[in-house]
């Protein structure tokens, strides 16, 4: 009975995650969610109470399926530079993947741009682990006596560059032109952010040095 009856509840959660991720909490309608979840509108109240509780539940459920958002265990012998490059690349891959069935990243990005009550949970479950991973890499790349505050700011500088190409993508496209923007693909962006950030930390040549960008464009 459990396995079968819970079907509706699960379908509702899955549908809610997708719809909320796409439209945001306010713009998403219960009727849309129920249509996608093939459930009656009353099911939301029956299983969750109200819309907000459904949202929270959807966010919490997303936690479980989030194994390996960003790889936390690095292979032996990797240099911190390599780790940073992979971190940035994985972040961008998760972020720019549109077709992926994983709407988790989109939900997270939406919550990051317009936080709600679920924000605290999302930070602790999603974001802090990633932040700790990044801070570990940064510690390897910087002097031992680096102030913790500066470590945070360096992390923000790196992540903010990645986020830009998702959050403000429409503006970037308008600025550089639609055709030209097609060249701003994942490898190009990842390489630039990596080189820019490493140079800022005194690792590697300045980002303006003759690079291998031509090969990928």
Partner DNA sequence: AAGTGTATGAAACAATTGTTTTAATTCAAG
Partner DNA sequence: CTTGAATTAAAACAATTGTTTCATACACTT
Name the site residues for its own copies (rule: CB under 8 A). 26-27, 112-115, 119-120, 123, 127-128, 131, 142-143, 146-147, 149-150, 152-154, 156-157, 159-161, 163-165, 167-168, 170-172, 174-176, 180, 183-184, 188-189, 192-193, 196-197, 199-203, 205-209, 211, 213, 217
Two tokens, residue 182: 């097609």
Nearer to its own copies, 96 or 131 (CB): 131
| Residue 31 in contact with DNA, rule: CB under 7 A | yes
- Which one of DNA, its own copies, none interacts with residue 165, CB within 5 to 8 A by kind? its own copies
The interface region with DNA, picked from 33-41, 93-101, 126-134, 209-217 by CB under 7 A, is 33-41
**Residue 98: exposure state from Cβ atoms within 10 A (0-12, 13-18, ≥19):** exposed
Cα Rg, the chain, nearest whole Å: 20
CA dist 98 and 4 (Å) reads 31
Give the angle 112-117-122 at the CA atoms, nearest 5°.
Answer: 50
Give the angle 179-184-190 at the CA atoms, nearest 5°.
Answer: 175
Nearer to DNA, 6 or 124 (CB): 6
| Shortest CB 209 distance to its own copies, Å | 8
């Amino acid at each position: 009975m459990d396995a079968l009856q819970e079907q509706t509840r699960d379908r509702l959660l899955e549908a809610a995650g997708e719809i909320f991720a796409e439209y945001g909490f306010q713009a998403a309608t219960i009727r849309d969610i129920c249509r996608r979840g093939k459930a009656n509108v009353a099911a939301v109240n029956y299983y969750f109470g109200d819309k907000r509780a459904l949202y929270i539940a959807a966010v919490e459920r997303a936690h479980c399926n989030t194994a390996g958002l960003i790889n936390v265990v690095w292979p032996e012998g990797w240099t911190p530079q390599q780790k940073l490059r992979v971190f940035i690349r994985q972040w961008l891959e998760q972020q720019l993947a549109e077709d992926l069935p994983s709407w988790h990243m989109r939900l997270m990005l939406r919550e990051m741009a317009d936080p709600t009550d679920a924000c605290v949970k999302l930070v602790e479950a999603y974001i802090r682990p990633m932040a700790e991973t990044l801070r570990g890499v940064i510690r390897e790349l910087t002097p031992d006596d680096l102030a913790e505050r500066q470590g945070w700011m360096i992390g923000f500088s790196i992540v903010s560059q990645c986020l830009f190409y998702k959050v403000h993508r429409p503006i970037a496209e308008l600025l550089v032109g639609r055709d030209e923007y097609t060249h701003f693909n994942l490898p190009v962006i990842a390489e630039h952010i990596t080189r820019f950030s490493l140079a800022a930390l005194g690792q590697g040549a300045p980002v303006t040095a003759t690079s291998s960008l031509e090969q990928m464009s």
